[in-house]
Amino acid sequence: MHPIYKLLHPHMRYTLEINALARQSLINGGGVIEACFSPGRYSMEISSAAYKSMWRFDMEALPADLIRRGMAVEDTSMPLGVKLVIEDYPYAADGLLIWSAIKEYVESYVDYYYSEPNSVTSDLELQGWWNEIKNKGHVDKKNEPWWPKLVTKEDLSGILTTMIWTASAQHAAINFGQYPFGGYVPNRPTLMRKLIPHEDDPSYENFILHPEYTFLASLPTQLQATKVMAVKDTLSTHSADEEYMYQLHEIQQFSVNDHEILEILKRFSAKLKEIEDTINQRNKDIRLKNRSGAGVPPYELLLPTSGPGVTCRGIPNSISI
C-alpha cells in the first residue's frame, strides 16, 4: 500500500532472480567470469576491492559520477548543475536527458504524497526502509559520512532518482551493447593469453614481421570465446515480455487509482518519447563525430524503446533479462 513501494515496484522486476542466476553460473567459483576473463580466479576479489574503495551511493547519481570521473564540471547556470567537458560524449549527453526526466517524474510523485512539513521524517516505514538499506544492506559502509540524509522531500527524491536511474538507464547503457560490441571476440576480447614480446625475446622478430599471428594466438581459446559469446548474447537480449520505462503508466494503471498520479506517469512516458526523438536527431548530426560517420555506429543504447531480441537499444524498468 505504501506509495514509495508502488513507485519502485516496477524497477525491481526479476532483480532477485537475475542475481541468483548470476551467482549460480556467472560470478561463481569456476564460472564464466573466472574461466574467461583476464583476472581469472581473482575476478571477484578485484570487484570486491573496487566496491570497498570506490562505491558510494551518492556517486551513483549520474551528474555526481560524471564530475567524479572528470567528464563534467559543476555549473549552476546549467539545468542539472553540470556542464560536460566533452559535449560529444553520447552516454553522458543522452544520459542527462533521461536522468532529468526521471528526476522530474520522481519529484512530482514525491511532492504529491509528501506535501506536509515533516511528512518524510514522520513516515516510520520509510525511515525504517532507508535505515535497513544502510545498516543491513551495506553494513560494511553503514558509518560512512556520505550517505544522504532522509529528512526532506528533496532528500527522498534524490535517493529515489538514483535508484531508478541505476536499475533502468544505467544498466541498459552498460548491458545491452555487450553482444553488438563484443560478440565478435577480436573486437573486445575478455582476455589475452600471451604477452607482447620484448626485444630480447626469441619470438620478437616474428612478432615484428607478422604481428597479426601473435594477436590471433593471444585471443581466448575457442571454448572461452564460445562461452563469452553465448553469455553476451543472452545478456544483451530483450525478452518478449520486457517491460520498458516508457510503458510505466500502462503497468501501474491497475495499482494506481489517483488521477493526478496517472497524469504524472503519462507525462513521464511522453517525455521519454520526446527524448527518443532528440537522440535520433543527434545520431543524424554529422558534427557529432562520436555517434555518426564512417565506421561509427549511432549511439542508441539510451533510446527508451526496443523490440525483443538483441537490438542494442531500449531501457527496461529493471535489471532483468
Q: Record the pTM.
A: 0.93
Quick check: 255 pLDDT over 70? no
Task: Read off the pLDDT band of 294 (50, 70, 90).
Answer: confident
Quick check: 259 pLDDT over 90? no
Number of structural domains (the chain) is 1
Quick check: 63 pLDDT over 80? yes
- pLDDT for 292 equals 85
**CATH number (domain holding residue 68):** 1.20.245.10
Q: What is the C-alpha separation between 265 and 109, in angstroms, rounded? A: 9
Evaluate whether residue 177 is within a structural domain: yes
Q: What is the pLDDT of residues 118-160, one digit of tens each?
A: 999 999 999 999 999 999 999 999 999 999 999 999 999 999 9
- pLDDT for 254 equals 64
Evaluate whether residue 34 is within a structural domain: yes
Percent of the chain's residues with pLDDT above 90:
89
Q: What is the C-alpha separation between 129 and 245, in angstroms, rounded? A: 24
User: What is the Rg, in whole angstroms, of the alpha carbon atoms belonging to the chain?
Assistant: 22
Quick check: 251 pLDDT over 80? no
The dihedral over CA atoms of 77, 78, 81, 83, expressed in degrees to the nearest 10, equals -110
Evaluate whether residue 321 is within a structural domain: no
Q: What is the pLDDT of residues 269-284, one digit of tens each?
A: 999 999 999 999 999 9
Quick check: 265 pLDDT over 80? yes
Task: Read off the pLDDT band of 249 (50, 70, 90).
Answer: low
Evaluate whether residue 320 is within a structural domain: no
CA 27 and chain centroid, separation? 18
Evaluate whether residue 118 is within a structural domain: yes
Only one residue has cell 536511474, namely 165
Q: What is the C-alpha separation between 65 and 60, in angstroms, rounded? A: 6
Mean pLDDT, rounded, of the chain: 94
Evaluate whether residue 108 is within a structural domain: yes
Cell numbers for 271: 517525455
Domain housing 287: 3-310
Contact 94, 299 (CB under 8 A): yes
Q: What is the pLDDT of residues 185-239, one digit of tens each?
A: 999 999 999 999 999 999 999 999 999 999 999 999 999 999 999 999 999 999 9
Quick check: 258 pLDDT over 80? yes
- pLDDT for 321 equals 73
Quick check: 161 pLDDT over 90? yes
Evaluate whether residue 317 is within a structural domain: no
Quick check: 248 pLDDT over 80? no
Query: Mean pLDDT throughout 175-194?
Result: 93
